[in-house]
Amino acid sequence: MAELKIGIVEDELVIARTIVGTLEELGYNHCGPALSYTEALEMLETEKPDLLLLDIQLAGRKDGFDVAERLNETYKLPFIFLTANSDFETIDRAKKVKPHAYIVKPFTKEELYAAIEIAFHNFTGTQTAAKAEKRIASVPRNFLFVKDGYVFRKVFFDELHYLESEANYVLLHLSSQKKIMVRSTISDFMDQLEPGRFIRIHRRFVVNSHFIEDVFPNELSLQGEKLPIGKSYRGEVLRALGIVGEG
């Protein structure tokens, strides 16, 4: 238990100090508190917590729901909402980002301990099962099948130029100029693709590296079309393409 590192995202310092004290009593390592969306992302990058305690109301324009969306999209990290809000609208919004637990303030040490242990256990169990299934199904291939209307169409990786996120859907841009809309998140769809070949360049775009022509400071060209490179993805993109000495 002592090896588990808990990140704290809470903009009220009095409450944050209470959480820190409780975590120390329980024997957890901790980092933070982060007071805003930006500080939360910085903490995730530098401190690498195993689980996040996340307040919904944060300082700044973006709130805990925005942090949760980024966690689900990029970091794949379990998180627990700690909030004073238990109204129907807040809970309905919370369900959409799928927290691993939801604790209403004020809470007891025992409630926090139970939530952390169960959330982390369930998360790691799910991840282990998913990886096992992926290993079983991981037969080398250069295609996948996607539903196109009433049929499942075979799409070769060689004809898939890039993916574009459209809310809960992914738009596949093919070399034939055809586009196919698939119901999925872009992160989940990437799990079906050839590792290393398809690169996330933006929260909305994944590209087939075989078709990249030029890389500019804030965008790249792909078969004559220009796509943006997100600031937080730039370093990873350059590394994936073997471009060194730039950042």
Domains in the chain: boundaries: 5-136, 143-240
pLDDT band, very low/low/confident/very high, at 246 (cuts 50, 70, 90)? low
Q: What CATH number does the domain located at 5-136 have? A: 3.40.50.2300
Give residue 66's pLDDT: 95
User: Which of the listed CATH numbers 3.90.1150.10, 2.40.50.1020, 3.40.50.1370, 3.30.365.10 matches domain 143-240?
Assistant: 2.40.50.1020
pLDDT band, very low/low/confident/very high, at 1 (cuts 50, 70, 90)? very low
Mean pLDDT of the 23-37 span: 93
Report how far Cα 14 is from the mean position of its chain's Cα atoms. 29
32 Cβ partners below 8 Å, 6+ apart? 7, 8, 9, 10, 16, 43, 47, 49
Question: What does the pLDDT look like over 126-166, one tens digit per residue?
Answer: 655 555 555 545 556 788 899 887 788 899 999 999 999 98
Mean pLDDT of the 198-221 span: 94
Taking the whole predicted model, whether its pTM rises above 0.75 is answered as no
pLDDT at 68 over 60: yes
Nearest to 223 by CA among 215, 237, 233, 213: 213
**Other CB atoms within 10 Å distance of the CB of residue 3:** 8
Q: Residue 172's beta-bridge partner residues?
A: 163, 180
Average of per-residue pLDDT values in the chain: 88
pLDDT at 247 over 60: no
How far is CA 178 from each of CA 47, 152, 189, 223, rounded to the nearest angstrom? 43, 15, 18, 14
Give residue 76's pLDDT: 82
